[in-house]
Amino acid sequence: MDDHADEDWGDGNSDSETIAKFWKKAIKLIETLRDSTPWHVKAVRTILMRMPNVPIYMPRNFSMMKNIIDDLSPMQRERYINSFKSYMENAMLQAKMSGNEKSTTLQQYKEYRVKSVASIPCTLMLEYLYDIELTNEEYFHPKLQELEKIGTLHVAFINDLFSLFKEYKGTFENLHLAVSIFILNEGMTFQQAIDKLCDEIEQMQEEYIRIKDEWFASGEYISKNVRQFIEGQQYYMSGNEKWHRLSKRYHGESFNTTIASGILKRSPEGGTIYIPDDL
């Protein structure tokens, strides 16, 4: 629900108060999914979601989320809703950060980005997909949380890289991308900033594998469910990167291939052009 630029709250088209107001409404909607929600509140929610003035994507997204949550255990539902709520609360910070790019460090950006990307609740979908259930003790284990944070930031930085030309509006100010931080605060050229972002992504991949391998080899008991969850997140990271490489969403309607390695450039039309290494 955070990617509809034609809405008055989307793509930074409105002030921070308007954007925060939208997210607060979305949070209230998520809260109605809790097991403790009174039946009459759920009934009102269902009626409201069927009103003709509700944007069509909202009931679709909500219906899909509800169907998934209904299949989860009470403990999983609680974790999923808490995670989604946390993401939405931090998504409101995006409007407040606008205009502060020149004073934002890379570490500050990372701390903000890892909390405000929609990947946060999506990671928990691994339990649903693998038909496993982690205990709260397993899920909140420091090592698993560390790996989840790295994986989430990896997803965010991949999005930063491939959505660059989609979101660029002629200035690197008011642009919520790591590249703008490198250019504005570290004096890098455009290509240097892209290369730096790619280095950051590769370091995350290496760090994830290192931490996972060391933990698995430590002799500590690690359940089969935890191992599946962690390795599943690796597949998620890889799949997210591949999807960004081939998605028409980022490269235009005429894009019909995927390039594993090459130079990323901006087309006159504002889309992405890949120049493969072998040309």
The predicted structure's pLDDT at residue 148: 94
| Domain range list for the chain | 1-98, 110-253
Half-sphere exposure of 60 (CA within 13 A, CB side): 4
The predicted structure's pLDDT at residue 169: 65
In tens digits, the chain (279 residues) has pLDDT values of 444 444 554 555 556 777 778 788 888 988 999 999 999 999 998 898 888 888 777 788 888 888 888 889 999 999 999 998 988 888 777 666 666 777 788 888 888 888 888 787 888 889 988 999 999 999 999 999 999 999 999 999 998 888 777 666 666 665 667 888 888 888 888 778 888 888 999 999 999 999 999 999 999 999 999 999 999 999 999 998 888 877 766 666 666 666 566 566 666 665 556 565 654
Model's pTM, two decimal places?
Answer: 0.83
Q: Any bridge partners for residue 263, and if so which?
A: 275
Could you give the angle at the alpha carbon of 172 between the alpha carbons of 254 and 273, nearest 5°? 20
> Do 169 and 175 touch, CB atoms closer than 8 A?
yes
Distance CA 260, CA 277 (A): 9
DSSP 128-143: HHHT----HHHHT-HH
Class (C level, CATH) for 110-253: mainly alpha
Look at residue 263 and give its three-state secondary structure.
Answer: strand
**119-147 burial, b for 16+ CB within 10 Å, e for fewer?**
bbbbbbebbeeeebebeeeebebebbeeb
The predicted structure's pLDDT at residue 270: 56
